[in-house]
């Protein structure tokens, strides 16, 4: 399906990194439009394309607010949220689109690799007090790994660094909840999709590389935002856990 995707990218002073990604994305025949939001002022070397829309924020906004604003301009059947520090592999978006079109899912997430080639923790089960405590103690039970004999995997949530939504599904759950700020927006929207009887799937054949920053591990302000969003999520779902209760895997 040609020109079926609107891509939303938000730059926070990413410079050359985001310029390279824009060129990558615009070269993909599936992409109809790219909406680049400059969350802070910066000068970029960008291609001259009528498929590129640049939004200059008067003041910085959160992850959810920026992507929700971009979605208001979406006229395609698919909407892709993409971090500026992502590098696409060949056919990354095509493989995501194929996985989504062959399934009843509302959202698909790719296999995310670190720059050293290891799999990142972008597919997980939902956080609970118990598994968060185990993670703090060094035993992370939430990560779902890719296996060669599985064509598709249904994790409970996929990370917001790269998410391909059916536009109707994103609209049905009213997009990201902007009360979350920078963290847990991706977990929450996946929970709301499951509760709306929409499936979240992982697409192991779609591969992207992530140059992770992990700001919440270094910056006290980001750590506070992270903990606040975690608390909001746990309070919201402590008595109404989203479906499914456990991840599922399907073989070819």
pLDDT attached to residue 19: 92
| Residue 30: partners with Cβ closer than 8 Å, 6 or more residues away | 1, 2, 3, 4, 5, 93, 94, 97
Least confident of 17-21, 67-71, 148-152, 233-237: 148-152
pLDDT attached to residue 1: 47
Q: What is the CATH number of the domain that holds 117?
A: 3.90.550.10
- The band of 212, judged by pLDDT with boundaries at 50, 70 and 90, is low
Higher pLDDT, 249 or 66: 66
Express each pLDDT in 114-167 by its tens digit: 999 999 989 999 988 777 788 888 888 888 887 655 556 889 999 999 999 999
pLDDT attached to residue 236: 83
Number of independent structural domains in the chain: 1
Q: State percent of the chain over pLDDT 70.
A: 88
pLDDT attached to residue 138: 84
Express each pLDDT in 19-56 by its tens digit: 999 999 999 999 999 999 999 989 888 999 999 999 99
Higher pLDDT, 142 or 74: 74
Residue 185 backbone dihedrals phi, psi, to 5 degrees: -60, -40
Least confident of 57-61, 177-181, 230-234: 230-234
Alpha-carbon span 150 to 229, nearest angstrom: 33
Express each pLDDT in 97-114 by its tens digit: 999 987 779 999 999 999
* Residue span of the structural domain in which 119 resides: 5-251
pLDDT attached to residue 230: 83
Q: State percent of the chain over pLDDT 90.
A: 61
């Amino acid at each position: 399906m040609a020109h079926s995707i609107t891509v939303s990218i938000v730059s926070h002073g990413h410079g050359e990194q985001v310029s390279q990604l824009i060129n990558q994305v615009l070269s993909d025949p599936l992409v109809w439009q790219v909406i680049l939001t400059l969350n802070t002022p910066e000068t970029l070397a960008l291609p001259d394309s009528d498929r590129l829309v640049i939004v200059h924020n008067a003041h910085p906004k959160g992850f959810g607010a920026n992507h929700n604003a971009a979605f208001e301009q979406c006229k395609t059947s698919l909407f892709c949220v993409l971090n500026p520090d992502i590098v696409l592999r060949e056919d990354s978006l095509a493989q995501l689109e194929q996985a989504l079109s062959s399934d009843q899912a509302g959202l698909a997430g790719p296999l995310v690799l670190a720059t050293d080639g290891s799999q990142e923790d972008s597919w997980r089960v939902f956080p609970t007090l118990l598994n968060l405590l185990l993670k703090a103690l060094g035993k992370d039970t939430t990560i779902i790994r890719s296996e060669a004999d599985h064509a598709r995997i249904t994790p409970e949530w996929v990370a917001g660094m790269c998410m391909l939504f059916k536009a109707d599904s994103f609209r049905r759950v009213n997009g990201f909840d902007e009360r979350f700020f920078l963290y847990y927006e991706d977990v929450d929207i996946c929970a709301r999709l499951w509760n709306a009887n929409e499936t979240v799937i992982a697409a192991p054949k779609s591969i992207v590389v992530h140059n992770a920053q992990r700001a919440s591990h270094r910056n006290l302000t980001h750590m506070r935002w992270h903990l606040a969003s975690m608390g909001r999520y746990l309070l919201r779902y402590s008595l109404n856990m989203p479906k499914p209760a456990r991840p599922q895997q399907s073989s070819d």
